[in-house]
Chains A and B, each alone.
Chain A
Amino acid sequence: MKFMDEYRDEKLAHKLIAEIKRTVTRPWVLMEVCGGQTHSIVKYGIDRLLPKEVELVHGPGCPVCVTALETIDKAHAIAQRPNVIFCSFGDMLRVPGSEADLLVLKSRGADIRIVYSPIDCLKIARENPHKQVVFFAIGFETTAPANAMAVWQAKKQGISNFSILVSHVLVPPAISAILQSPDNRVQGFLGPGHVCTVVGYREYEPLATQFRVPIVITGFEPLDLLEGTLMAVRQLEEGRAEVENQYPRVVQRDGNRVAQQIVESVFEVCDRNWRGVGSIPQSGYALRPDFAAYDAERLFDVGAIATQESGVCISGLVLRGAKKPHHCSAFGKACTPEHPLGATMVSAEGACAAYYAYGRHLQPQDFAAKGQPS
C-alpha cells in the first residue's frame, strides 16, 4: 500500500541503522510512547537491529492496557443489564476484569457487539429504539474525535437511546508522570504520531524544555521509527532537547483544528486513573455537562465496585517502561494471549502481547546478550 510499503524497505532501513551507529557514542534510553509503535518495533525486530548503546523501552500508549480495572468492571455491570446493547472496539473484549471479560459475558447471553467505528452505534441505536445502546469510549487523543463525533451527531440527530462509557486518556500528562517517577530511565521520546495528527505538538514543547528531553514525533513504519530514533540520538549526542517532527506527511504543529473544536465542545479534561500506573491529574477526558444525557456512568448507577487485580502481573511496571515483559515470572507461562493475567497481554499494542506474538518468550537469552536490564 502506498505510504506504507515504501517505508518498509530493508536496504534503506540498514542505511539508517548505519547512521545511528555512526552517531551514537554512549548509552541512551528512548521510550516509544505509542503501543502501535511498540508493535511495529517488536514485529520488525527494530530494537535488536539498533546498536547496543540505544535501548528502546515501551511506553503506556495502549488505551486498552491502561483503562482502569474499575471502569472495566463498570462496563461489565452495564453490559449485563437486560435492556442494553453494549458496543466496543474488538480489543476490549478479552481484557480481564475482576471476575470475567466481555467475551465471557457475551457467551452468557449479554448483547455485546464489536463495532469498527463509534459512529456505527448510532445506526444500531436507530434500529433498536427500545434498547439502550452503550459504547465503551476508550482511547487517546487519536480516538477522541471519533468518539466526540458520535455524541455530537447523536445530539444533533435527536438519538436519545445512545450513551458512552468514557475512559479517555491523554499522552502529555503521562509523559510528565514518567519523567517525574523516581525510577525513570527515559532520556528521550519517540512521540505518538497519530495522537499528534489530531492535537499537534505545541503541548510537547514545554515538556521538552522543562525536563530537558528530546521528543521526536514519529510515525509507525520501520523507516519512520529508525529515523525518529536517529533524530532523538542526534539531539542527545549534541545536548539538545527539542520537539522535532519526523512524521510531517500527516502531522502539523497545530494538528487538526476542526477535530480539536468538536473534541473540546464535547469533552473536558479530568483526572484519570490509569491501570497499573495510578491516578494522573488532568490526564483524561470526561463529557461536558451539556452532554451529560449521553454519559453512561450517570445513566446506569452501577454503585461502588470492589476490584481484584492479579497478584503476579507486573503490567504497571511494563507500562511505565521500568520493566520489560520477559522480566515477569508469568510471561508466556501462566499469562498468554489465550489466558491473560493483565491487559498488556491482550491488546496487539500491549508490550506483553507483542513480545509473545513475535516469539520473544522463546528466546530470552537474546535480551541478556544485548545488555538489557534483568
Chain B
Amino acid sequence: MCLAIPGKVVAIETDANGVKMAKANFGGVVKKVCLEYTPDVEVGDYVLVHVGFALSRVDEEEAQRTFQLLEELNQLDELIEADPALPQENPP
C-alpha cells in the first residue's frame, strides 16, 4: 500500500478543475500524476509517486549517498575477495 515509485516528469499542465498535473514516465510507462503536493517540480525532475500523487522530488545528490558509503567501505574489498561464498567480479 505504501508502494511509491520514482518517475521522470515529462510534461506539466493544469487540468479543467484547476489541479496541477504532470505526465510522468515510469520506465517507459507514462501516467498522469497530481503535482499539488510538489508545486516546485520542473520538467526533467524525478518524483516519488504514490497512488497517483507525487509526494517528493527525488534528490539526485542525496541519491548518491549510499554509493559514497560503499566507496568508504572499499577497504573491505580484500575481505570480500577472500570469501568464496560471495560473488567475484573476475573469478579465478
Taking Cβ atoms with an 8 Å cutoff, the residues of A that contact B are 1-4, 6-7, 10-12, 14-16, 18-19, 22, 34-36, 61-64, 89, 91, 116-120, 138-140, 142-143, 145-146, 149, 153, 156-157, 192, 194-195, 197-198, 220, 223-224, 227, 246, 248-252, 256, 258-259, 262, 347, 349
Bound together, the chains give a CA A18 to CA B50 distance in angstroms of 33
In the A-B complex, the 10 residue pairs with the closest CB atoms: A117-B52, A1-B27, A249-B63, A3-B6, A248-B62, A249-B62, A259-B37, A142-B2, A250-B56, A194-B2
Bound together, the chains give a CA A64 to CA B2 distance in angstroms of 11
Bound together, the chains give a CA A227 to CA B73 distance in angstroms of 12
Bits for B52-76, please: 1 = Cβ < 8 Å to A, else 0.
Answer: 1101111110110111011001001
CB distance from B25 to the nearest CB of A (A): 9
Flag whether B87 is at the interface (Cβ < 8 A): yes
27 contacts between A and B (CB under 8 A): A1-B26, A3-B46, A10-B87, A16-B70, A35-B1, A35-B2, A63-B1, A64-B1, A116-B52, A119-B34, A139-B2, A140-B1, A142-B1, A149-B36, A153-B17, A156-B17, A194-B3, A194-B4, A197-B55, A246-B66, A248-B62, A250-B59, A256-B55, A258-B36, A258-B37, A349-B1, A349-B2
Q: Report the count of interface residues on B (CB-CB < 8 A).
A: 44
Q: Knowing A1-B6, A35-B2 touch, does A146 contact B51 (C-beta < 8 A)?
A: yes
Contacts of A18 on B, CB cut-off 8 Å? Answer: 73, 76, 79-80, 83, 86
Contacts of A258 on B, CB cut-off 8 Å? Answer: 36-39
Contacts of A262 on B, CB cut-off 8 Å? Answer: 36-37
- By DSSP majority rule, is chain B's interface helix, strand, loop, or mixed? mixed
CB distance from B89 to the nearest CB of A (A): 7
- Asked if B34 contacts A249 (CB within 8 A), the reply is no
Contacts of B6 on A, CB cut-off 8 Å? Answer: 1-4
Bound together, the chains give a CA A22 to CA B51 distance in angstroms of 40
Closest to B79 in A: A18
Contacts of B77 on A, CB cut-off 8 Å? Answer: 15
Bound together, the chains give a CA A16 to CA B19 distance in angstroms of 43
Closest to A159 in B: B17
Taking Cβ atoms with an 8 Å cutoff, the residues of B that contact A are 1-6, 8, 17, 19, 26-27, 34, 36-39, 46, 48, 50-53, 55-60, 62-63, 65-67, 69-70, 73, 76-77, 79-80, 83, 86-87, 89
| Choice from B26, B51, B56, B66 contacting A197 with Cβ under 8 Å | B56
- Asked if A142 contacts B50 (CB within 8 A), the reply is yes
- Asked if B52 contacts A142 (CB within 8 A), the reply is no
Q: Knowing A116-B52, A248-B59 touch, does A227 contact B1 (C-beta < 8 A)?
A: no
Closest to B16 in A: A157
